[in-house]
A and B are shown apart, each in its own frame.
Chain A
């Protein structure tokens, strides 16, 4: 069994300040973890992924995430928010136990205030 919990449904930050979007997971298998971004009325775009290599993962647009097994977390961060970062962010866990089981978090809406 696996699950993903995105702890905040909405996060609001000022432009130029740090971003922290929290994600906790549980998985019976060795998981892969992903962050996807969805801009309004658009499809989902991969930001970054962890697949059992380096625990600190760098993605596009200055985002990064750190896989912490002891805390079962995969929080997404960015040092300085930009207006174009305003979007919905999804944390995703997958594993390949038999077939690829994919579980999405409920999403975090990031608002960036000018």
Chain B
């Protein structure tokens, strides 16, 4: 019973393609996040949604478009992929917007060739 799941786990694609990463949480949490972890292991928040509404957008290029069809899902669509998009993308969720523990998914390793 995985709490936060992501698909796919690995994604290899060519520059210029469009791809999506999916995230689902079965914890009943209200808030979900996307993070990008670069090759130096630095984790940076990209987006946060609370009850399907966008609440954080950390100056991410508009090639990245998150979508939350319901509060258990937060998907990330990336248009016109670039080499610099290669990273590990982590989804996370929290019960709400307070000082809560983040529950992380296993990550999606995106490689752009």
Contact = CB atoms under 8 A, between A and B. Distances in A.
Interface stretch (B13-21, B48-56, B59-67, B75-83): B48-56
Contacts of B41: 38, 88, 106-107, 109
Given A100-B94, A104-B43, A49 B48 contact: no
Contacts of A49: 101
A43 B107 contact: yes
A32 interface: yes
B98 A96 contact: yes
B48 A99 contact: yes
A31 to B, nearest CB: 8
A95 interface: yes
Contact of B106 (A36, A43, A102): A43
Contacts of B102: 34, 36, 44, 46, 92, 102
Contacts, number: 66
Contacts of A38: 41
A94 B90 contact: no
Interface string A27-38: 000011010101
A32 B98 CA distance: 9
A102 B33 contact: yes
B31 interface: yes
Contacts of B101: 34, 46, 49
A109 B40 CA distance: 11
B105 A100 contact: no
Interface string A76-89: 00000000000010
B99 A95 contact: yes
B99 A51 contact: yes
Contacts of A36: 102, 104
A99 B50 contact: yes
A90 interface: yes
B100 interface: yes
B33 A43 contact: no
The 6 residue pairs across chains A and B that have the minimum distance between CB atoms: A32-B99, A104-B43, A44-B104, A43-B106, A100-B97, A43-B104
